[in-house]
Chain A
């Protein structure tokens, strides 16, 4: 009989727990204006890049305007969008790629954007909010796009410039660059083969080619689009094959895979390029630069519009952040600059001036960079001084 008594006790305990939980029902009270909400991408809130900078933008807006925010990590994006809109959030940022339910509606339901016309939804990296004839589908959706192809072009140009002048720029004991033609190779590691990744790669390749043509040297470009976004050990291994083959610079656009590339760069005394946030200090002196995709800027600016009641001016639009906006570009290079040898200073300033002029040429339209994200086709045969054997 002991056992039955035990079972009875257990079931009693369960019942009590269930009832207790019911007791709490209904005593939650919600504030009138919950503020703004943000749904992170799969990388999560502490990814040191894309999501974290967006949250920085929220924090900055909170400090300045006193607008509360809520950060949500979710795997059910449509469900969370609906829940947040129902809970009364008026501006909802979604950093994840998942637009069907929001923009077009699925399973016979109205689009979420249409169900909550008073809520403004902000999506990133894509503009699905247009019909085929170019008209806007939902008036309350804002698409945020970054011209990362231009920023990558800058990084590519910088790579060629640094690689060609490595001997003058750096002191020999700090680095171990492969010299001559054997070292005219640059690597790219991407998380997956999608437009969101190739946009970085193609801009980068064009940047390398731009300077290579100027200096009349031939470069080889190795690319790998299968690194995923989490395995930094694999990133380290892949980068190593490039470095051992003679590449002096490897650019990783693959989330935390880049951490492994950076540490390998330090180990072999070569250089890596980072992405999203300013990660130049990841391995100081071995990260050449970071290609910024700073979500902080648009998040802050959109909340500012919300605060000033000027959201109507940007609703339904695709906001393009270019080099001039500061939301994309390369870092100020201050970390790598500290490694420049005294006799290389003059050359370094020359390189920085060249970068400035490139940035101006991009802004004026003199240099046109392929934007794979916007669906532009990339033709590698047009790059005369760069061969891309495995792209």
Chain B
């Protein structure tokens, strides 16, 4: 009975923000004189219920799955790595450099080299906050957050300087060589990169759920002092967790460049950016791998759907921005309720009015809420 309640409350804590966001978005669409049902229908049908649409959604979900996982793995250990965006952008940039510098290489080798470059750059980048956090107790949130700005300026400098494509009218590096591009599959947008993301998802799922490291992540997340006392080398584990996160983020950037953008431009990561989207996804997915996967697909559907909204209705695509905003708001309410036990107190209060038996039920439910 209790187990069932946990699952239910998990579904409920994810679905409810989504429903509220869509509902309020619908009211806004109606307020500008358009049909919300038609708008959502276009969005859902085009992004999920057509063969091409779903493949496109999965294509755009691939980097989000990776950034989502990269954030989830650190958040689960209560390490707030805000540098996923920076690692993804930096990884993508140098992937691009390897992509256009090497010519006439075997495609398999070239693609592998590019992906490894992305991961390596991600690891090196994340090494800085990881070491600072683990051995010098420097707040990782501040360091990673600030490093994002450093990355933005560095890649801007490089893209305007030595790696600039002089033939292009805007700031961009050269397009990567044909041999470094992921080929589009099934006459759609989908590429091999999605399956690589799936593979990484599988590996991380095993790490999260079955491995010793997964258990240690949870332990550090719950109480690092206790973990240390229990004989864990917490500092070393923090570095390992951060580096996994960095590698996955770098891979996300590399893959996005090789499967979608093909050259580095200053708006490469989009707005708000792969890393920040990943953060929302990790929150939406409750830091669990499966949750992150579902949330990524949902989020990518929202994004591809928004493009179709602009094409087939008169609703501005910014409506999706509104929906995302409300989603974030609802998710933060979830945090408030988790951190203050607001929901629990409320149910308790309700319970006091009702019979004793019902009271016992709601306490049960509250425990589920915290799970």
> Chain A residues in contact with chain B, CB under 8 A?
1-4, 7, 10-11, 13-14, 17-18, 20-22, 24-25, 28, 42, 70, 72-76, 79-80, 83-84, 87, 97, 100, 104, 106-109, 125-126, 128, 192-196, 225, 373, 375
Contact = CB atoms under 8 A, between A and B. Distances in A.
Interface string B173-188: 0010000011110000
A257 B9 CA distance: 48
A193 B172 CA distance: 10
Contact of B317 (A24, A25, A73, A373): A73
B311 interface: yes
Contacts, number: 116
B311 A125 contact: no
Contact of A7 (B12, B169, B271): B12
Nearest to B310: A72
Contacts of B259: 107
A84 B308 CA distance: 10
Contact of B270 (A13, A75, A125): A75
Given A28-B38, A84-B311, A194-B168, 17 more contacts: A7-B11, A13-B19, A14-B19, A24-B38, A24-B41, A72-B310, A74-B310, A75-B270, A87-B311, A97-B265, A100-B263, A106-B181, A107-B184, A125-B169, A128-B167, A196-B170, A375-B166
A10 B12 contact: yes
B251 interface: no
B303 to A, nearest CB: 8
A391 B265 CA distance: 22
Contacts of B11: 7
Most chain A CB inside 10 Å of its own CB: which residue of B19, B189, B310: B310
Instruction: Give the most central of B22, B171, B181, B263: most A CB within 10 Å.
Output: B171
Contacts of B22: 17
Contacts of A1: 361
B361 A3 contact: yes
A117 B146 CA distance: 48
B189 A79 contact: yes
A126 B169 contact: yes
Contacts of B16: 10
B75 to A, nearest CB: 26
18 contacts: A3-B8, A3-B361, A3-B362, A10-B15, A20-B37, A21-B40, A28-B312, A74-B317, A80-B311, A87-B312, A100-B263, A107-B183, A108-B181, A109-B184, A195-B169, A195-B170, A196-B170, A375-B167
Contact of A100 (B12, B45, B189, B262): B262
A194 B171 contact: yes
A60 B126 CA distance: 54
B350 to A, nearest CB: 9
Contact of B41 (A11, A25, A195): A25
Contact of A79 (B38, B40, B307, B317): B307
Contacts of A107: 181-184, 191, 259, 262
A21 B160 contact: no
Interface in B254-295: 259, 262-263, 265-267, 270-271
Interface of B: 5, 8, 11-12, 15-16, 19, 22, 37-38, 40-41, 44-45, 49, 56, 160, 166-172, 175, 181-184, 189, 191, 259, 262-263, 265-267, 270-271, 304, 307-308, 310-312, 316-317, 358, 361-362, 365
A42 B41 contact: no
B262 A80 contact: no
Contacts of B184: 107-109
A73 B310 contact: yes
Given A72-B311, A195-B168, A373-B169, A7 B41 contact: no
Contact of B169 (A70, A79, A97): A97
A229 B360 CA distance: 59
Given A14-B15, A14-B19, A21-B40, A126 B168 contact: yes
Nearest to B314: A70
Interface centre among A14, A75, A104 (most CB of B within 10 A): A75
B358 A108 contact: no
Contacts of A17: 22, 40
Contacts of B38: 24, 28
Contacts of A18: 44
A87 B310 CA distance: 13
Nearest to B358: A2
A321 B36 CA distance: 43
B160 A193 contact: yes
